[in-house]
Structure 1
């Protein structure tokens, strides 16, 4: 790293907090990140990491404002992607299914090739009783990503059924 590039004042503490999380010292990580988030409310990555720390401890409701704040600020594409997924998944986990659906639709629009959003979107659709659309979307993701030869041999049929989940066929006499 070029030593002439000045790192933000919060950078070393953020790295320490992430390291603590990676070492499963979740409470210590959270405490440090809450302090950082309060001290640097306009730093998207700090808000995102604080949200993630809450989620890691099962504190989904507390994570929401940090995710929302992070998404309103500047983030790298990778962090924005993570924040969208974190918030979309969290909304679903706390029963805010419509918010989850809307946010994941936004994420899919921004990251159309990111399959993880489509899978979590399918879960939100399921919770909203859009069972056919949910199952269809999950089938498509399965077919397009599986390496399992026993499933792949049925790709054509599965893709057909993805669009015809409620149809019944009977022999014509």
Structure 2
């Protein structure tokens, strides 16, 4: 098993500190290794080291990532920017993800969070309400689907 694979398994197993140690060595030895950079960003996020994750995400995104890795890196970077209060960068990053992966529902949810942070509460609610209707098979939601969709972009309207 390669060191990279070992680090990934440690990360998925919740052994973040051990994974981080291996990944930092790998990114220093192989600075062009996109997967190692991406995994290093993720493990920093897992450890609550969001600010330290940013340069690894940005470096990974400049490399040749797989589709799934690129999707994860854009979501991770957008979410990380949001958590450190860099809302404009978060919005731009998540919009890039939405453009590239429009059916990846997670981008819509994280995008609504950053819209909320930017004070765009009505738009954030609209996105979430539409996603709830779209993704839910709960009978009560299904029963009120038309009403939820109707009000989704009129959340602040008084009748």
State the TM-score, normalized to the length of structure 1: 0.89
Separation in structure 2 between the aligned mates of residue 149 and residue 34 of structure 1, nearest angstrom: 48
Alignment match, 1:80: 70
1:40-84 deviation per Cα after TM superposition (whole angstroms, max 9, x unaligned): 111211100000010111100000000001111101111111101
Aligned to 1:41: 31
Cα distance in 2 for residues equivalent to 1:22 and 1:130: 35
- Aligned CA RMSD, in angstroms, stands at 1.0
- SS of equivalent to 2:2: helix
1:146 corresponds in structure 2 to 136
Residue 126 of structure 1: how far off its partner (Å): 0.1
* Structure of larger gyration radius: 1
My pick for the range that moved more, 16-25 or 86-95, is 16-25
Structure 2 residue matching 1:129: 3-state secondary structure: coil
Match of 1:24 in 2: 14
Structure 2: gaps (5+ residues): none
- Distance in 2, matches of 1:39 and 1:93, equals 30
Match of 1:158, SS?
helix
- Deviation at residue 159 of structure 1 after TM alignment: 0.6
Show CA shifts across 1:68-115 (max 9, x none).
011111011111111011101100011111110011001100111111
Query: Hey, which bits of structure 1, 4+ residues long, moved more than 2 A?
Result: none
- Give the Cα–Cα distance (whole angstroms) in 2 for the partners of residues 168 and 48 of structure 1: 47
Length-normalised TM-score, structure 2: 0.97
Gaps of 5+ in 1: 1-10
2:117 to 127, 130, 150: 127
1:15 corresponds to: 5
Higher helix share: 2
